[in-house]
């Protein structure tokens, strides 16, 4: 697979909207939570594939600020699955050189889950092979609103507000903007994910539901990305 495509451009940062868990389960006559379980179990293989491909930053959209509107049993189930995932996989990811970061609110998370996230961040903080950001209780508009609030509270005059200053006050401060965002399931929406950071990202929408997103499909999205002509508002360099 990779040997045949050694000349493709590997993005530095890939964002992943893990969509289609519920529909994956429904097609199989399973409860929606079974789809979320399958989706969570696909995170580690995807991280290892990204590491293999040479991607340096990977951001997962795990739970949005809007997902709280879902039925309480589904929300609780998702949080429990994430907690189990951390218990089971953090040490393994640490051994793989993965640095774990969280983007999003923490105050609305269960105290136990919040502690596990903080411990995972602390354990892996010096790892440099690949950085994995988990978007949990994350929303792009909420992120920008909070960033503006911090800037206003710091007393910065309006004429001193720059794009760089706003970027420095986002959850992703210090992380390069995504080059590529992948949304599985074929839905073509940004859904409030990294809306500031992805202004010039390439977007790819494979029709595969997230639990079926394999290393091979991941690679094919990178091949597609490599064919894109990224102009950033300028003219083609070709």
Active site residue 67: yes
Catalytic residue, chosen from 67, 80, 177, 212, is: 67
Instruction: Specify the pairing of strand 202-204 against strand 57-64.
Output: unpaired
Single out the catalytic residue among 5, 19, 21, 42. Answer: 19
User: CA dist 12 to 122, 131, 140, 157, 179, Å?
Assistant: 23, 10, 21, 34, 7
Q: Residue 19 catalytic?
A: yes
Q: How many residues does the chain have?
A: 238
Residue 226 CB partners (closer than 8 Å, separation 6+):
5, 8, 9
Question: Which residues are tagged catalytic?
Answer: 19, 67
């Amino acid at each position: 697979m990779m040997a045949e495509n050694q000349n493709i451009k590997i993005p530095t940062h890939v964002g992943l909207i893990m969509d289609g868990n519920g529909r994956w389960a429904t097609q199989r006559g399973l409860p929606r939570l079974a789809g979320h379980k399958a989706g969570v179990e696909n995170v580690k293989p995807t991280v290892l594939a990204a590491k293999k491909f040479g991607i340096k930053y990977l951001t997962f959209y795990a739970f949005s600020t809007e997902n709280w509107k879902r039925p309480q049993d589904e929300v609780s189930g998702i949080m429990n699955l994430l907690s189990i995932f951390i218990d089971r996989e953090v040490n393994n990811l640490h051994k793989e050189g993965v640095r774990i970061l969280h983007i999003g609110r923490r105050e609305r998370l269960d105290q136990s889950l919040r502690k596990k996230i903080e411990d995972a961040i602390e354990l892996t903080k010096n790892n440099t092979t690949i950085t994995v950001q988990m978007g949990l209780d994350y929303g792009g508009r909420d992120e920008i609103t909070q960033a503006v609030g911090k800037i206003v509270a710091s007393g910065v005059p309006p004429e001193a507000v720059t794009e760089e200053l706003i970027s420095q006050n986002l959850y992703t401060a210090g992380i390069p903007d995504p080059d590529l965002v992948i949304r599985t399931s074929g839905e073509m929406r940004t859904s409030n994910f990294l809306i500031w950071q992805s202004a010039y990202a390439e977007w790819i929408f494979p029709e595969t539901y997230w639990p079926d997103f394999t290393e091979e499909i991941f690679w094919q999205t990178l091949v597609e990305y490599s064919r894109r002509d990224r102009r950033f508002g300028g003219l083609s360099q070709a």
